[in-house]
Amino acid sequence: MPLKTRQQVREEFASRGLAYADWARQKGYSPTLVSMIVNDNEGAPQRKCLRGESHNIAVELGLKQGTVSQPMTRPRIQLAAA
């Protein structure tokens, strides 16, 4: 499958009427991080998406080839009883 540009991803979201935050929540990603990746500079992106959640997002959006790694499980914070 050919890779998409960030502009193509933005247009795809717009044509579907889908918000980045909704897609991110459905997939279990940070809405802020998805927005940062999609809206990053195509020519010189600040987010390289080399590993972790950024990598997984870029792969699922079609911005790069690769496989989605296992999602990291975040430890749950338990508050001590007072």
Q: Give the tens place of pLDDT for each residue, 1-48.
A: 799 999 999 999 999 999 999 999 999 999 999 999 999 998 888 989
- Reply yes or no on whether the pLDDT at 82 is more than 70: no
CB atoms near residue 27 (< 10 Å): 14
Type of residue found at 41? N
CB atoms near residue 16 (< 10 Å): 9
- Give the pair of three-digit tokens for residue 15: 């044509």
**In this predicted structure, which of 3-7, 52-56, 63-67, 73-77 has the lowest mean pLDDT?**
73-77
pTM: 0.81
- Give the pair of three-digit tokens for residue 47: 């987010």
- Reply yes or no on whether the pLDDT at 75 is more than 80: no
- Distance in angstroms (rounded) separating the CA atoms of residues 78 and 40: 35
